[in-house]
Chain A
Amino acid sequence: MENARRTQSVLTARRAGLVGCTTCGRVHARQAVTCRRCGSRLASRDTGSLQRVWAWLFAGMIAYIPANLYPMLVTSTFGKTQQNTIVGGVIELFDHGSWGVALIVFVASVLIPIGKFIAIAYLAVSARSAVVIRGHGRQHLYEVVEFIGRWSMIDVFVVAILAALVQLDFVATVHPGIAAASFALSVAFTMISAQNFDPRLLWDAYEADDT
């Protein structure tokens, strides 16, 4: 285990003068531009990656602000109108005693988005350095972020379903609020941000330390 930190010089594709396809895994000579197997574009490292990650991440963060300030749902029952923000909706579910569902909504619309902002920013900042969390840890973090981000869309779908279903004229009607749109945008932007991240960057720092 003592050698675990400094592995016996791992041969990376880049050092071997090769480039791997991120879509299908086929390996090509360094000069290849498109993959012969699947037709994807090839690049040993995606050089513009971090810039795009930051741009989409900021767009996502900005869209997340109105998503929390404006109402997500506008409910009217017997003429009374009530507006609910994301957090307001969670609190209401909690009051009703639906703990489990309150938790799902809270995790999907608050914890995951904010956790994602932090995780992506951390990966982007630390990409080129060998920091506290070693390569494997950060690779896992990246995979988790990519997998979990889409689940934030739950709340948007909930609003859509409620608005479609609860249209009982006078008794009760539900309309979606502006927050639904900005929340959906926020989730989409952060997903794009995560997809633009080139995880190979995480490993480059180690390549430098064992040569």
Chain B
Amino acid sequence: MTRIVMLAATAAVLMIAAIFFPFLELQVGGLSRKSSVFDAITAFSASGMLPLSIAVAALIVVLPFARLVAIAYALGPMALGWHPAPQAARAFRWAEATRPWAMAEIFIVGVAVALVKITGLAKVTPGPAFWAFAALVLVTVLKDSFMCRLTVWKTLEERSRS
């Protein structure tokens, strides 16, 4: 339980770093361009596809982040041996329901594919945010594999009753 909360907290910090630091740097001849994850999100809105922009933002940033917060909120007090916070069950249920929609790890594979696509065209260097994001995915996968949802539900129920 403690381990999950720690991992969730680590992931949240990495997430913030991943969004704002430059993600990839592209160089062609003398020209260079740095993009952050934020630019990838707004890329669609520039071409008149604002709804898609919002959807991408939700899938790779907002949802994963909100899930981390919800999980930390639901499990944090229990890791310390306290009573669960009010609405902890609701927060955890929400985190479970949105799991298929948090697509950070898919985004990373997408980045890899995109890199191969443009290697012929230009030189691309991953920035600090890229590593933060990759670490984030790793931490999230670890966290999900440590977490047994049935145990969490059982503990939530027992602690809130006593």
Which residues of A come within 8 Å of B, CB atoms?
23-26, 37-40, 77, 93, 96, 98, 101, 104-105, 146, 149-151, 153-158, 160-168, 171-172, 175-176, 180-181, 184, 188, 191, 195
Could you tell me if B35 and A165 are in contact, using CB atoms closer than 8 angstroms?
Answer: yes
Residues of B within 8 A of A167 (CB): 33
* 10 sampled A-B residue pairs with Cβ under 8 A: A23-B93, A25-B150, A37-B156, A39-B89, A93-B116, A146-B100, A166-B118, A168-B122, A176-B49, A184-B52
**Please, what's the 1-or-0 string for B32-49, where 1 marks a CB less than 8 Å from any CB in chain A?**
010100011111101101
Q: Smallest CB–CB gap between A67 and chain B, Å?
A: 12
**How far is A154 from B124 in the complex, measured between Cα atoms in Å?**
19
Chain B residue with the shortest CB-CB distance to A92: B117
Could you tell me if B60 and A37 are in contact, using CB atoms closer than 8 angstroms?
Answer: no
Q: Report the count of interface residues on B (CB-CB < 8 A).
A: 51
**How far is A166 from B39 in the complex, measured between Cα atoms in Å?**
11
Could you tell me if A101 and B113 are in contact, using CB atoms closer than 8 angstroms?
Answer: yes
A163-B44, A165-B118 known; A154-B110 Cβ under 8 A: yes
**How far is A209 from B107 in the complex, measured between Cα atoms in Å?**
46
Residues of B within 8 A of A191 (CB): 100-101
Q: Does B24 contact A (CB under 8 A)?
A: yes
Residues of B within 8 A of A149 (CB): 100
Could you tell me if B120 and A96 are in contact, using CB atoms closer than 8 angstroms?
Answer: yes
Could you tell me if B153 and A150 are in contact, using CB atoms closer than 8 angstroms?
Answer: no
Residues of B within 8 A of A25 (CB): 150, 153
Chain B residue with the shortest CB-CB distance to A75: B121
Could you tell me if B111 and A37 are in contact, using CB atoms closer than 8 angstroms?
Answer: no
Q: Smallest CB–CB gap between A160 and chain B, Å?
A: 5
Residues of A within 8 A of B142 (CB): none
Q: Does B103 contact A (CB under 8 A)?
A: yes
Residues of A within 8 A of B51 (CB): 181
